[in-house]
């Protein structure tokens, strides 16, 4: 079979997690890059190890966990859900009640992370199981509205349950990502404070171009979340190719036909909701813990939409696509901001792209063409508003031009070069 | 007849309290029904769930505010006319502009998506909502813009029964819209619209221009959304159009679902049910401490979930025919 890597003579080769040599090689390369990234050791891209970028990358990784879960529900099982933010909130609030400090106005048991983190996922999964029967009865777009309703009911609950969620405008502090044996004990491993991760990992002097005395908390959080993303990514990939995932796909494609063939519809949908919500709850708890303090208003519809968009832009039903989509969606605001500031400096320094800045950036009250304003208030879109608008435009353009998402683009590019110089 | 509402300190008998709540519930229901009608017409004709309805409502209300209070179009060319007529003309102009915007939206973003999964198209309208809402918020400078309507905060009082003039206007306008729509569905174009709703391919085979029908449906839908937006941003519901106006659509969605996504009758009935339920809940459960703040706002959603569990396609919706 040498020289013909795509010729599979056994079924299990084709069903392998990473069936081709190219995939295995690129996976190893990606792994090395991912390890070097937080150490500021990437050639040319060393700046990604700075605190500002690390915070964004960590956020993207946490979003990736939630998006992987939603992908199982929407992309594989075909159940439209706009309620992902609700399940994430359930996880986050379970975490804060179990792991947070109790106060005069809030509940908290102060338990260690190895209890509150899994419990966050399990609690969300239980709520998911409770919701699942609705999905058996209510179908398609109607289900989208039920899950949309969950977001609003949830927000009402969090606003009013001050003992769990804290004040409506202040929220409450979340427990840190620290691994201790029991409450009150010193943490064995802390992902939330600067310092050595383990005695053998710092200081780093075994790479010729890197000198690191101690590791930042962002880098430590990064490694922890990256580990979870890899584990849950593999679980998702594995689910898709085994009995459970194939039964979901059958329900997605033709539910009645699936039932006729012996796939239990109610069971499949319940599993899908439970597992997807587990991912969501876990991601919600980690996100809240890393951010530190979240107000009840944050678990809103826009938050839910972000995850649906990640799944659709990335490519529904694929793990690699969802990971691409997550980084794309999370990084875009930062890129837009950088680009706007770059244009502004082009204008002030009369650079080669000053004309573009003159057109886009609003310079005077009579400048009707310039739609972007550098001030937060007043006429003209602020950078935040510009991001929301671009996000909307992105959804529209992607769904019209490339319904398969980033994954579809990747497949096209790959196939082009595979057959090069022939068109097919 | 009318005077300015200051504050209602008079204690009311239970019957009076109920009837007053019912009156303003029906008026709120009329607003929901207008939004729901536009939504259902778009859904029936094009199979598109329009999440951008709230954005369109806010944009329509903003246009009225701009035409009536800022630029006085078309009143500035009309010479000496009454305030009511001037405002009505501005509002009608805004509705016409909104209908045009609806047609443009359909042409640019919805037409290329024919044949794609319904959910993908729904996501496109969600994207549209973000674009329209943010731009509208920016146009109105993120602050409250008065609509300058001639009725203001005046109320009509018949014995104990008090109802704001705008609420009466809202109910009358809903009736008018209902009558006009009923007439419209009897016309040739209306028939084409109903045929397209029934089966797009068969309609096309009969020589109906489905594309034109789509455009008309979106035009009507956007105009009706704007109408709902206008009445939700005048007294007593609000003092003008602001960034929160668009959220009215998220309170009208339960009404649409309760009535059934594809039923005109359902849109009106669902709108009225939700409006009355919301106001009654606000009146009677507002003081119940353990229910918490803002319970009236989630009543429509809870109602929707219960209705869907009993009737999965809403009260008047057509059950989807599922084939193997």
Average pLDDT of span B138-155:
86
Determine the Cα–Cα distance for residues A273 and B86; give it in Å rounded to an integer. 55
- Tell which of A80, A145, A255, A386 to mutate to test the B interface (max B CBs under 10 Å): A145
pLDDT digits (tens, 9 = 90+) for A90-122: 999 999 999 988 888 888 898 999 999 999 999
Alpha carbon of B95: minimum distance to chain A alpha carbons (Å): 24
- Tell which of B312, B316, B321 to mutate to test the A interface (max A CBs under 10 Å): B312
- Nearest residue of B to residue A140 by CA position? B119
Q: Which residues of chain A have pLDDT under 70?
A: 1-3, 5-6, 196-213, 364-370, 376-378, 424
pLDDT digits (tens, 9 = 90+) for B70-86: 888 888 888 788 888 98
Alpha carbon of A147: minimum distance to chain B alpha carbons (Å): 10
Residue A377, pLDDT score? 67
Nearest to A153 among B302, B323, B324 (CB): B302
Does the CB of A395 have a partner CB in chain B at under 8 Å? yes
Nearest to A149 among B123, B293, B301 (CB): B301
Sign of CA dihedral A164, A170, A172, A177: positive
Does the CB of A255 have a partner CB in chain B at under 8 Å? yes
The predicted model scores a pTM of: 0.91
Does the CB of A392 have a partner CB in chain B at under 8 Å? yes
Determine the Cα–Cα distance for residues A370 and A363; give it in Å rounded to an integer. 7
* Closest to B249 in 3D by CA, of B36, B24, B63, B40: B36
Look at B126 and A380 and tell me if their CB atoms are within 8 Å.
no
Determine the Cα–Cα distance for residues A70 and A81; give it in Å rounded to an integer. 8
Contact A324, A407 (CB under 8 A): yes
Residue A369, pLDDT score? 67
- Tell which of A131, A317, A383, A399 to mutate to test the B interface (max B CBs under 10 Å): A399
Which residues does chain B have within 8 Å of residue A309's beta carbon, measured at their own beta carbons? 123, 127
Q: State the angle between helix axes of A301-314 and A140-160 in degrees (0 to 180), rounded to the nearest 10.
A: 140
Domain assignment present for residue B324? The answer is no
Alpha carbon of A352: minimum distance to chain B alpha carbons (Å): 30
Alpha carbon of B36: minimum distance to chain A alpha carbons (Å): 14
Neighbours of B176 (CB within 10 A): 10
Look at B305 and A146 and tell me if their CB atoms are within 8 Å.
yes
Domain assignment present for residue B8? The answer is no
Domain CATH code at residue B25: 1.10.3470
Q: Which domain holds residue B294?
A: 21-310
Residue B6, pLDDT score? 42
Domain assignment present for residue B5? The answer is no
Q: How far is CA B223 from each of CA A418, B180, B186, B190, B219, rounded to the nearest angstrom?
A: 51, 13, 20, 16, 6
Domain assignment present for residue B47? The answer is yes
Average pLDDT, chain B: 88
Look at A152 and B109 and tell me if their CB atoms are within 8 Å.
no
- Nearest residue of B to residue A393 by CA position? B127
- Nearest residue of A to residue B126 by CA position? A392
Residue A2, pLDDT score? 61
Report domain extents, chain A: 50-315, 318-424
Domain assignment present for residue B4? The answer is no
Which residues does chain A have within 8 Å of residue B131's beta carbon, measured at their own beta carbons? 389, 392-393, 396
DSSP letter for A328, please. Answer: H
Which residues does chain B have within 8 Å of residue A254's beta carbon, measured at their own beta carbons? 324
Average pLDDT of span B14-26:
90
Which residues does chain B have within 8 Å of residue A134's beta carbon, measured at their own beta carbons? 305, 308-309
Domain assignment present for residue B319? The answer is no
Determine the Cα–Cα distance for residues A256 and B322; give it in Å rounded to an integer. 8
Which residues does chain B have within 8 Å of residue A255's beta carbon, measured at their own beta carbons? 322
Which residues does chain B have within 8 Å of residue A388's beta carbon, measured at their own beta carbons? 130, 134
DSSP letter for B66, please. Answer: I
Look at B298 and A134 and tell me if their CB atoms are within 8 Å.
no
Count up the domains in chain B and report the number.
Answer: 1
**Does the structure show a pLDDT above 90 at B150?**
no
Look at A309 and B135 and tell me if their CB atoms are within 8 Å.
no
Q: How far is CA B249 from each of CA B51, B56, B287, rounded to the nearest angstrom?
A: 8, 9, 26
Which residues does chain B have within 8 Å of residue A257's beta carbon, measured at their own beta carbons? 324
Share of chain B above pLDDT 90, in %: 51
Look at B309 and A148 and tell me if their CB atoms are within 8 Å.
no
pLDDT digits (tens, 9 = 90+) for B198-257: 888 899 999 999 999 999 999 999 999 999 999 999 888 888 898 888 888 888 999 999
Residue A421, pLDDT score? 83
Domain assignment present for residue B7? The answer is no
Residue B1, pLDDT score? 34
Determine the Cα–Cα distance for residues A13 and A120; give it in Å rounded to an integer. 36
Domain assignment present for residue B11? The answer is no
Cα Dmax for chain B: 67
Which residues does chain B have within 8 Å of residue A308's beta carbon, measured at their own beta carbons? 123, 126
Residue B25, pLDDT score? 93
Does the CB of A144 have a partner CB in chain B at under 8 Å? yes
pLDDT digits (tens, 9 = 90+) for B276-288: 999 998 888 877 7
Look at A138 and B312 and tell me if their CB atoms are within 8 Å.
yes
Residue B47, pLDDT score? 87
Does a cis peptide bond (omega within 30 degrees of 0) precede residue A190? no
Contact B43, B188 (CB under 8 A): no
**Does the structure show a pLDDT above 90 at B162?**
no
- Tell which of B130, B137, B139, B266 to mutate to test the A interface (max A CBs under 10 Å): B130
Which residues does chain A have within 8 Å of residue B304's beta carbon, measured at their own beta carbons? 145-146, 149
* Phi, psi of B162, deg, nearest 5: -115, 135
Average pLDDT of span B152-173:
89
Residue B192, pLDDT score? 93
Rounded to two decimals, the ipTM of the complex is: 0.88
Tell me whether residue A421 is exposed, middle or buried, using C-beta atoms within 10 angstroms of its C-beta: 0 to 12, 13 to 18, 19 or more: exposed
């Amino acid at each position: 079979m040498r020289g013909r890597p795509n010729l599979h003579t056994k079924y299990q080769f084709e069903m392998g997690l990473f069936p081709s040599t190219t995939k295995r090689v690129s996976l190893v390369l990606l792994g090395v890059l991912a390890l070097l990234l937080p150490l500021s050791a990437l050639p040319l891209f060393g700046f990604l190890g700075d605190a500002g970028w690390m915070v964004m990358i960590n956020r993207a990784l946490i979003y990736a966990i939630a998006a992987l879960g939603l992908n199982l529900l929407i992309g594989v099982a075909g159940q439209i859900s706009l309620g992902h933010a609700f399940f994430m909130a359930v996880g986050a609030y379970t975490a804060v009640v179990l792991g947070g400090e109790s106060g005069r106005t809030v509940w908290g048991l102060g338990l260690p992370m190895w209890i509150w983190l899994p419990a966050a996922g399990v609690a969300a999964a239980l709520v998911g199981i409770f919701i699942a029967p609705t999905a058996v009865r209510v179908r398609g777009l109607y289900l989208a509205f039920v899950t949309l309703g969950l977001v609003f009911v949830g927000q009402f609950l969090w606003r009013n349950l001050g003992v769990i969620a804290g004040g409506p405008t202040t929220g409450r502090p979340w427990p840190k990502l620290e691994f201790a044996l029991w409450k009150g004990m010193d943490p064995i491993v802390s992902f939330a404070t600067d310092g050595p991760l383990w005695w053998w990992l710092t200081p780093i002097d075994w790479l010729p171009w890197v000198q690191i005395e101690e590791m930042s908390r962002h880098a430590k959080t990064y490694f922890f979340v990256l580990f979870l993303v890899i584990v849950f990514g593999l679980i998702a990939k594995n689910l898709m190719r085994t009995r459970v995932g194939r039964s979901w796909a059958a329900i997605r494609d033709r539910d009645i036909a699936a039932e006729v063939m012996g796939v239990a519809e109610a069971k499949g949908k319940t599993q899908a909701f439970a597992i997807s919500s587990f991912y969501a709850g876990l991601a919600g708890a980690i996100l809240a813990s890393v951010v530190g303090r979240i107000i009840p208003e944050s678990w809103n519809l826009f938050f839910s939409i972000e995850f649906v968009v990640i799944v659709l832009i990335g490519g529904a039903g694929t793990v690699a696509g969802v990971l691409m989509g997550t980084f794309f969606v999370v990084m875009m605001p930062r890129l837009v901001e950088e680009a706007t500031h770059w244009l502004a400096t082009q204008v002030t320094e009369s650079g080669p792209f000053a004309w573009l800045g003159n057109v886009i950036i609003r310079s005077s009250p009579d400048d009707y063409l310039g739609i972007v304003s550098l001030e937060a208030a007043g006429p003209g879109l602020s950078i935040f508003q510009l991001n929301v608008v671009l996000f909307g435009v992105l959804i529209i353009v992607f769904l019209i031009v490339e319904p398969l998402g980033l994954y579809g683009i990747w497949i096209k590019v790959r196939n082009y070069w595979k057959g090069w110089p022939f068109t097919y | 007849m009318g005077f300015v509402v200051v504050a209602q300190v008079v204690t009311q008998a239970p019957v009076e309290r109920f009837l007053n709540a019912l009156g303003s519930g029906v008026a709120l229901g009329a607003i929901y029904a207008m939004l729901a009608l536009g939504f259902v017409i778009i859904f029936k004709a094009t199979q598109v769930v329009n999440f951008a309805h709230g954005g369109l409502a806010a944009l329509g209300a903003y246009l009225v505010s701009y035409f009536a209070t800022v630029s006085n179009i078309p009143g500035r060319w009309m010479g000496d006319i009454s305030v009511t007529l001037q405002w009505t003309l501005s509002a009608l102009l805004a509705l016409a502009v909104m209908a045009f915007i609806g047609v443009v939206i359909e042409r640019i973003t919805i037409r290329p998506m024919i044949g794609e999964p319904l959910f993908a198209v729904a996501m496109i309208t969600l994207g549209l909502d973000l674009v329209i809402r943010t731009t509208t918020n920016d146009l109105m400078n993120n602050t409250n813009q008065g609509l300058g309507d001639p009725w203001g905060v005046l109320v009509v009082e018949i014995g104990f029964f008090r109802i704001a003039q705008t609420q009466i206007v809202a109910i009358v306008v809903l009736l008018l819209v209902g009558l006009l729509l009923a007439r419209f569905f009897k016309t040739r174009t209306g028939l084409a619209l109903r045929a397209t709703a029934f089966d797009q391919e068969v309609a096309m085979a009969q020589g109906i221009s489905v594309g034109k029908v789509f455009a008309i449906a979106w035009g009507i839908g956007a105009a009706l959304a704007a109408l709902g937006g206008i009445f939700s941003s005048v007294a007593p519901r609000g003092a003008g159009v602001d960034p929160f106006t668009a959220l009215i659509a998220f309170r009208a969605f339960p009404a649409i679902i309760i009535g059934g996504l594809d039923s005109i009758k359902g849109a009106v009935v669902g709108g009225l049910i939700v409006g009355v339920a919301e106001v009654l809940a606000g009146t009677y459960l507002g003081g119940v401490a353990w229910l918490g703040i803002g319970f009236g706002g989630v009543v429509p959603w809870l109602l929707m979930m219960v209705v869907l569990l009993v009737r999965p396609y809403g009260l008047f919706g057509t059950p989807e025919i599922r084939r193997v």
